[in-house]
Structure 1
Amino acid sequence: MNYLTKMRGMRHDDVPDDFWIPVPLDTNNITALSPYLVPQDHLGSKALYYSLSAFMFVLFVCGTTINVLTIACTIQYKKLRSHLNYILVNMAVANLIVSSAGSFTCFYCFANRYMALGVLGCKIEGFSATLGGMVSLWSLAVIAFERWLVICKPLGNFAFKSEHALFFCALTWFFALCAAVPPLVGWSRYIPEGMQCSCGPDWYTTGNKYNTESYVLFLFCFCFAVPLSIIVFCYSQLLFTLKSAAKAQAESASTQKAEKEVTRMVVVMVLGFLVCYVPYTSFALWVVNNRGQTFDLRFATIPSVFSKASTVYNPVIYVLLNKQFRSCMRKMLGMSGGDEEESTTQSQSVTEVSKVGPS
């Protein structure tokens, strides 16, 4: 009995634990071909698979390069070892995990047009991508919280120090493990998703022993709604504080410039967060609330691609737009202009920080 014959006629709940079928088998289901064994050409053309493989390779190269540079730059230059930069490096480490274990795996599997690394490889890729993604997501929330404490000063003269940053960095890994470990121990599971060349938590199936519905609800509340609420609250308070300071010092060109730059930065940060995680969260919730509805698996691949692309545009937003980081990177790479930019940045920072925020 070949594999297709064996699978045909089985009920949805009888499907082996390491295999997933997106629609009922009694509807001429052509996806009853194991994504661990054979190319999934019935889900898309070879050109589409190879295009996604090329895109994942670009994400792997760019994401790995920029995050390695961020970590190396911080190690080389002691002046970068501030409390905020510790959080940025924490996010760079998480992005490096996603780009190396997630993007590279997807590049290889899309090139083969199926989950060529097998069940174990699927679990490793799903766990690594979830762990790194959650650390990165919570790091964004910690950065927003740190900016709120430093600029808005809700605790008065409380100083956010390096030990506080290290504590919050450790907390991001704890939260990430709380999200990434359960599918390995029976609460949900890691399975091929989309075009079956990447893996993530099971948010497709229902009524099984894995309690996937409760896990999806947990992810939405704890790993999306809470960090998003922190980010929106902290950055909205930051904008109010900066606008108040700008009105009080309307004659100061440097203060007005600082207000505009931070406003633009906040908008980019929030948009970056939404681009990273809204597609994945929205699609997962749609599937959970529309059980039995058929959908094109090619569209299910888009959210996964967007989330992995965060390994590139998150460092661009948080690191390359940081003038001090950018200057040190230019110096480390032997590019001219680093010293001049750094001295200008330091003089501007002294002026702007002294004039923005309550005294």
Structure 2
Amino acid sequence: MKNSRATVEFHEDFHIPIPLDTNNITALSPFLVPQDHLGDTGLFYFMGAYMILLTIVGTAINGLTIVCTIQYKKLRSHLNYILVNLAVANLLVTSFGSSICGISFFYKYFIFGPLGCKMEGFTASVGGMVSLWSLAVVAVERYLVICKPVGNFSFKSHHALFGCAITWVFAMVAAVPPLVGWSRYIPEGFQCSCSPDWYTTGNKYNNETYTMFLFCFCFGVPFTTIVFCYGQLLFTMKAAAKAQADSASTQKAEREVTKMVIVMVLGFMVCWFPYAGFALWIISNRGQAFDLRLATIPSVLSKSSTVYNPVIYILMNKQFRSCMMQLVFCGKSPFGDDEESSTSQVTQVSSVGPAS
């Protein structure tokens, strides 16, 4: 009887049309029974432990970022607003995404039901999209401040607040449609997390058009923005380094910026390219068989961004790192005068403009 009920609910709400890959199709609802056919128990437990680890570490780093910004007035600059915005988005993902997925992995199915799936998929999507767009806004901010494409543009608090607000607007534009009939939120991969339906075909939800919208608007536009802004930043720094070949500090700043750009672009690609690439493959190969478990990889990498993005954008910021250490170690930073050197370097880099 339990399996019969599971079959009905699964086919009514989240049926994956046959033929896709009959080896991957189950008649057992991911909301009612363990999905043992998708993997060994040890694999489920490993994924659960990893998600719980992401929840703990991500909550600690991003929570500490917010607390430090409140505690230390010197961190409350308009250029840091977007980093706090990134931390808030990451906390949303760890609180309603990674934690819920971790619990579900230990049960080996999504125990929170169809409504919980919609809630988890929506909140994780909002947090993820805010995080994604925040990275693009960071790139634009640095482009405007360092490259000075509009002359002596003065970056004010209202510009920073607008940048933060636009990330939430764009996130809502991307995450709300599956709640109102354009695509839908369904279990993915090992059926222990939820996301927009980007891989089923032949239903009334127009998944193909929504997937193309996500690919273009939520990956193509931010990625193009990041590549353009950081590319211009590199050209500006290299021009400054060439013009000031005798300045050791300028040469050092150019090397630091080059390293920063490479790390940030690679971080973005690791976070979002698997989702974008897999979704594009699905659109281009409709009806071809694929292993549903592969959908877990993009989900895990995107949720991992709640840890490695703060490491790249916040912990690599010496001023933030110094304040965090002071807070954790009760006022004594083990980094000594890193804060002062960081402030000096940021001032120098920010003052570099296009050669006239």
TM normalised by structure 2 equals 0.94
Provide the aligned C-alpha RMSD in A.
2.1
Task: Return the offset for 1:19.
Answer: 2.3
| Alignment of structure 1 residues 86-97 onto 2, 5 Å | 86-97=81-92
Residue 342 of structure 1: aligned partner:
339
1:71 aligns with 2:66: yes
Aligned position for 1:15: 11
Tell me the SS of whatever aligns to 2:143: helix
- Rounded to whole Å, the distance in 2 between the matches of 1:87 and 1:161 is 13
**What are the within-5 Å matches in structure 2 for residues 118-137 of structure 1?**
118-137=113-132
2:14 maps to a residue whose letter is F
Change (3 A) 1:84 1:2: same
SS at match of 2:149: coil
Alignment partner, residue 177 of structure 1: 172
Gaps of 5+ in 1: none
* Aligned pairs for 1:155-166 within 5 A: 155-166=150-161
Unmatched runs of 5 consecutive residues or more in structure 2: none
Identical-residue share of aligned pairs (%): 67
For residues 54 and 158 of structure 2, what CA distance do their matches in structure 1 show? 33
Which residue is equivalent to 1:143? 138
Alpha-carbon distance in structure 2 between the residues aligned to 1:272 and 1:297: 25
Q: Deviations over 1:65-100 (max 9, x none)?
A: 100000111111111111221000001100110111
Q: Give the whole-Å Cα distance in 1 for the aligned partners of 2:147 and 2:21.
A: 60
Partner of 1:215: 210
Answer yes or no: is 1:311 the counterpart of 2:306.
yes
Task: State the SS of the aligned residue for 1:200.
Answer: strand
- What does residue range 1-359 of structure 1 map to in structure 2 within 5 Å? 3-4=3-4, 7=7, 15-16=11-12, 18-21=13-16, 23-24=18-19, 27=22, 31-334=26-329, 335-338=332-335, 340-354=337-351, 358=355
| CA shift for structure 1 position 5 | 8.7
Give 1:287 shift. Answer: 1.7
How big is the shift at 1:226? 0.4
For the structure 1 residues 356 and 80, does the alpha-carbon distance in structure 2 shift closer, same or farther, using more than 3 Å as the test?
Answer: same
Contact 1:25 1:32 in 2 (8 A): no
- Contact 1:331–1:338 (8 Å) recurs in 2: no
Give the 3 Å change call, closer, same or farther, for CA 97–6 of structure 1 in structure 2. closer
Q: Secondary structure at the match of 1:281?
A: helix
Superposed displacement of residue 21, structure 1: 3.0
Within 1, Cα distance between the matches of 2:151 and 2:135?
A: 23
Q: Distance in 2 between matches of 1:291 and 1:245?
A: 50
Against the structure 1 CA distance between its residues 105 and 5, is the aligned structure 2 distance closer, same or farther, given a 3 Å change threshold? Answer: closer
Structure 2 vs 1, CA of residues 25 and 67 (structure 1 numbering), >3 Å: closer, same or farther?
closer
Aligned-partner Cα distance in 2 for 1:78–1:238: 28
SS of the counterpart of 1:15? helix
Whether contact under 8 Å (1:20, 1:192) holds in the other structure is: no
Deviations 1:297-316 (A, max 9, x none): 22221111001000000000
Distance 1:104 1:22, change over 3 A: farther
Q: Look up the equivalent residue of 2:155 and give its one-letter code.
A: F
Secondary structure at the residue paired with 2:187? strand
Would you say how many aligned residue pairs link Structure 1 and Structure 2? 354
Q: Which whole-Å CA distance do the structure 1 matches of 2:197 and 2:21 have between them?
A: 22
Cα pair distance change 1:244/1:44, threshold 3 Å: same
Per-residue CA distance 1:125-158 (angstroms, 9 max, x = gap):
1001110010001010001011111111111011
Give me the whole-angstrom Cα distance separating, in 1, the residues matched to 2:344 and 2:216: 43
